[in-house]
Structure 1
Amino acid sequence: MADTPRFDRLAAAAARYGEASLDNYALVRSLAEKVSTGFCRYLGSGKKCVFLVPAEGPFAPVDHGSGAFSVSGKGFLPLAPIKFGLAVRVSDTGDWIRIVLAAEKQGPDLDVSIIGGRDFSFRLPVEDERLQDFFAVLFEHLTDWFNDRADHYADGSYGGGGMGFEFIHADEDQV
């Protein structure tokens, strides 16, 4: 090792980091795509009802591909937790809500946080049965948010606070 030039050692360390960051991105993206397609099936909608969207900023209910992930456009792919958004159709009239998720590998697990909600762990590799459990958590998160606010209103209060949801309306021909 002492005979190896410092630059070569630095380049080897950077290459190792690059491989790990690419593995991290691939792991999170694979889960995100499974969640996007599987949650729509879980909801039982006859229409496309879940899209991967950016975690922050403007979004439309269309698949944003790699642009849905917080590491997109960062140049050297950072080795860090990754956020992404899910646009979920919540009505037959074109209303959508964005849920933001953050995922990070912790040893043999992939931990996913619903921003403003619960945390959830997947043992790697991710199994279909565990995905179904996660879909139930996402569904509960959404329905609780709507029901809690409607209950607060019925009790004479708007409830205050939020869970980070953003609504948009998109006409059928936009989706």
Structure 2
Amino acid sequence: MAKHEKTVEQTEKSRFLIISEAATAYGDRSFDNYAQIRSIAEQIQAGLCGYLDHERKCVFLVPPQGPFLEQNYGSAAFSVSGKGFLPLEPISFGLGIRVSETGDFLRVVLQCRKEGARIDVQVEHNKTYELDLPLKEKELNVVLEGLFQHTLHWFTDRTERYDHGNYGTSDIGFDIMRIDKGS
């Protein structure tokens, strides 16, 4: 076919309409991707909060980078926030996890990728959980225990390295912060 020849479909529709339909399909998929991942994120946040402490709120959905307060950030907690046209790509979000009685929080970043009828959730470039949709409580509990262990080991591993004289690491993004409630 010559470079500028029109197909039968193109003669019935303008090129703009063809692109517009493709953009609409893309938009539908990108919204589905975001909605599915956000639902999983909210279930993880609420579940982990209850898993760690039934007495008070101790886990928040926070942006994957930058400063954060002791609050849920809604759509601003996701890496696609503020990008205008919602991109069709893996999405990251942060969990601000209370780790002390004095207001210290550790941010744990999760990246999610929808793969057909499942979502892969990767924790800090380490462990990946493959979750079938719709999410079942048993699968969620595996993730919650994994996040508990990840957070616990973040501290115990560093303490042990210090105790054995090997606490200098090349970790990038030391992300533990104290949050003053008055801020």
Q: What range describes the TM-score normalised by the shorter chain of this pair?
A: over 0.9
**Pick aligned residue for 2:134 from 116, 125, 129:** 125
Distance 1:121 1:163, change over 3 A: farther
Q: Deviations over 1:142-169 (max 9, x none)?
A: 1111111111111122141337441111
2:177 pairs with 1:160: no
Partner of 1:101: 110
Distance 1:165 1:39, change over 3 A: farther
Aligned pairs (5 A) from 1:67-78: 67-78=76-87
Q: How many residues align?
A: 174
Is residue 120–residue 130 contact of structure 2 (8 Å, CA) maintained in 1? yes
Is residue 70–residue 181 contact of structure 2 (8 Å, CA) maintained in 1? no
Gaps of 5+ in 1: none
Aligned pairs (5 A) from 1:1-175: 1-2=9-10, 3-162=12-171, 164-172=173-181
Is residue 53–residue 84 contact of structure 1 (8 Å, CA) maintained in 2? yes
SS at match of 2:39: helix
> Bigger shift: 109-118 or 70-79?
109-118
Aligned-residue offset at 1:59:
1.3
Is residue 116–residue 164 contact of structure 1 (8 Å, CA) maintained in 2? no
| In 1, Cα distance between equivalents of 2:107 and 2:181 | 18
Distance 1:134 1:17, change over 3 A: same
SS at match of 1:80: coil
Q: What is the RMSD computed on CA atoms of the aligned residues? A: 1.5
Name the aligned partner's letter for residue 95 of structure 1. Answer: D
Give the TM-score normalised by structure 2.
0.90
Gaps of 5+ in 2: 1-8
Is residue 120–residue 129 contact of structure 2 (8 Å, CA) maintained in 1? yes
SS at match of 1:52: strand
Give the TM-score normalised by structure 1.
0.94
SS at match of 1:10: helix
Is residue 149–residue 159 contact of structure 1 (8 Å, CA) maintained in 2? no
